[in-house]
Structure 1
């Protein structure tokens, strides 16, 4: 299995404005590897995930390509996405799992329905066991689940169709540190079993635990691609360095300024108003060749 995103762009059309949510994104992900897509909130990470699955609203325009093996997800008909891709070849672990569970149905009932829709012969108990759930846990309703338990149910639902690619959208949001560590260990286990895992997160510490590769997004663009070890040893883009320096375990120094509005992006490099290295060169948009910066 190989996912290759090539020139993917997403625009949202609003009255009197256009949101440049994702611009010319490019990266690859293969089976057995974990790619962490990182960046500040609002930079386009989750939009990217929903674009891959064809789950964007009607006011969105998606261009470019996202090849899952030989199938271009961007141009695939909805019937193909619904019957062949979602749940079967790509499993989605949504942000805030408890909010996505049906409140009046037990975990077992929701797993059973998913397996039935996917045409799988497995039992809810066997799928739940792969996600670290006990049979007794399946009798609970969503309001009876702890944050970690809801996360495991979401994992089980994503695994129900045995997909080769898992997309985890902010899987550590709202969890305390022990649950973050447990969730990351579970995602790493899925990778080690041979699946490809795309983690969307702003938690660099969590990404460091499991990622083989990182893609850093800023204002809708991927600005750096790197192997995880190289990234944490020394990121090359000024924005990437700022993200690491903001960690409490590092300099604990915030990046000055605010990200630009996606309806009013500056010309050239979008990070230049916040960058101490900015020069006249930065009036032109640098191409992404591992790092999109004139001063890398």
Structure 2
């Protein structure tokens, strides 16, 4: 029997979401149950929607806390061990904004979706989420695997192999989600699902490429890739739940280990020639980047 074309689970039975096509009798009971589960009930449901979203955000912060703890034992070795209030503020505000958008797109506010994610049967997804930050950090501590994606010449064979296998796995997961959504939802809903997931990938990738061509050395942080991967994990399926968990874990690891706050910068006045002197009680390293466009002609002399 052909599987029915369903709308998003939170749209079933809601005003303005459109009518579902006629369903075979064998599927009618399930569809009716979904509608009853997602309909607003008198009193408390509006508050419960916000409580579910708040619980979702707290879960993301739990992953952040796990990574902050991992930083204290050198996972990763270049992670931030001590943070200041500015970094905490930047991390918290960014996690709230990105977490709200992610939670809305994967449907955590829907009662049925929330019940699926918080079921005891999904213990593996929560274990994967909380385990991803330290595991990802441990892998990044392997020197041959720590490479800048923009510096192709320094990749090396081990990194190329691992990176290729990882990209192949991610591409396979994305294609699986697209195929499953295309086969189980109306074409309008499937198109909306694909567009809202592909748009961030195109934006991040296109922006990095455009800035690179403009001479700006932009580092596309892996937290954006983790967040973009988590967007696909909307389906009530074990593979989709693990996809959501891994993506959220990478997102939490990126913020927890390296912070969302911009690096400490100095902003001297615009000038045709600039002379600066830096000194410290012990040897240090600086990374000087242009605020816009390519770096001007420069000469540096180091004194040890």
Q: Same fold (TM over 0.5)?
A: no
Greater Rg over alpha carbons, structure: 2
Normalising by structure 2, report the TM-score: 0.25
Higher-helix-fraction structure = 2
The higher-RCO structure (CA 8 Å, 6+ apart) is 2
